[in-house]
Amino acid sequence: MKLLATGVNHTTAAVELRELLSFPEGEQAAALQALRQQPGVREAALLSTCNRTELYCLVEADAQDNLAHWLAQWHQLPLEQVKQALYHYEGAMALRHMMRVAGGLNSLVLGEPQILGQMRDAYSLSQENNALGSELQQAFQQVFAVAKAIRTDTAIGENPVSVAYAAVSLARHIFADLAGSRALLVGAGEMIQLVVRHLVEQGVTDITIANRTVSRAQELAATVAGKAIGLEALPDALADADIVIACTGSPKTVIEKAEVARALKRRKHKPIFMVDIAVPRDVAPDVGKLQDVYLYSVDDLQQAIAENVRQREAAAQEAEAIIDRAVAGYARRLRERDAVPSIRRYRQQVAALGQQELTEALALLQKGQDPAAVLQRFEHRLTRKIMHQPTVKLREFAADSRENAMQNADELLLTPTSKSIEI
């Protein structure tokens, strides 16, 4: 039996194929049950995100190809198309891969934290569907422990590396507490959706979405109990906003200096923090010349992000060292486990010899022989029987000049008398 991790991610498959190989949340339980029933699969877990689909399984030696066939059949895709995009990791390398995924080292955005929660969900789903046994459960616990150590002992998650997160993070440097701030977001596309999520995570509850198509603004605002307005209402909305983040697809600016100047007057010059992450720009550049306006462009954010990426890369090296230590321990335990069958056979052999001598000793005692003499006989015969095979082998090693074998025998057989012997 071995641990196996196989799947596709943003480095091996285009988004079109990743979409085809993904498992919608509603079918994951059924897919997991079907995976568990595949020949050679003893334990299984399934992870499916926008950037990866991965299977983590405890399998028999020849089960790897079965997983590729199963993925292709489940999604009704040509086998070769799936196999070309699949990667496979076994044993300690599979555990290393899982740790790198959970730690955010294998993500599109280095150090992103969401993947750890997604792996925890995959673990819980496997538990709920009785697809998780002791081996895979222990592997996941090690993965989660390492991911926690990476978050605790390195700075990999401290510096924002996405434009949306960087914009919100920059606002935190202007306002001591974002929770009491009022946010005006201009646009309703993917970038603004990410900004909304990050603002909510920071405790912002007063959010207004301004967009040319009001219905799209309403859809996004409804997710956070916010307010939706059209772009024509921007001048009035600016007066109420502490934070303005803009990202539309407009070919010309949508926020002008005069509008902001009037808003500042109505606010009695209470500062406004503004981030323009649109290209072309949404906020007229001369807005930044106004007092009490803190205006940042996407270029300002990119400079900060580039530095943060460098810092995350340095932290990633520390994270890799944490993983190296954990994987080395796991690999050692796997090697130790290889000795179990030999240890079991040796224990059985010695136990059989002891039982044989004990039976004879008890028979002699029942015949009334001297107990001390019986015990001496028992000790002498058992010792000779246990020593016989090692003694024969040692002589063979010496006769054949097998010095390494002799050294190994010394290390194996010669126990310092000062130490207790555990049976």
- Residue 401: both structure tokens together: 């000049």
**What backbone torsions phi and psi does residue 55 show, to the nearest 5 degrees?**
-115, 130
| Element containing residue 199 per DSSP (H, E) | helix 190-201
Contact 187, 246 (CB under 8 A): yes
Task: Pull the structure tokens for residue 168.
Answer: 């919100």
d(CA 225, CA 244): 18
Question: How far apart (Å, rounded) are the C-alpha atoms in residues 60 and 5?
Answer: 13
With 0-12 CB in 10 A as exposed, 13-18 as middle and 19+ as buried, what is 16?
exposed
For 363, the token pair is 């028979």
Beta strands in 277-335 (DSSP E): 293-297
247 is catalytic: no
Q: Which amino acid is at 189?
A: G
Burial label for 296, CB within 10 Å (0-12, 13-18, 19+), is: buried
Owner of token pair 């462009």: 297
Gyration radius (Cα) of the chain, Å: 33
Q: Which amino acid is at 192?
A: I
Q: Which amino acid is at 95?
A: L
389 token code pair: 């095979």
Place of tokens 């030696």: 61
Cβ-contact 286, 258 below 8 angstroms? no
Q: At what angle do helices 190-201 and 214-222 cross, to 10 degrees?
A: 30
d(CA 48, CA 234): 40
User: Edge-to-edge strands of the sheet including 87-90?
Assistant: 41-48, 52-59, 2-9, 87-90
| Residue (of 371, 377, 341, 370) closest to 356 by Cα position | 377
Q: Are 175 and 242 in contact (CB under 8 A)?
A: yes
Among 14, 50, 373, 413, the active-site one is 50
SS3 category, 378: helix
User: Which tokens hold the place of 132?
Assistant: 């998780």
Looking at the annotation, which residues are catalytic?
50
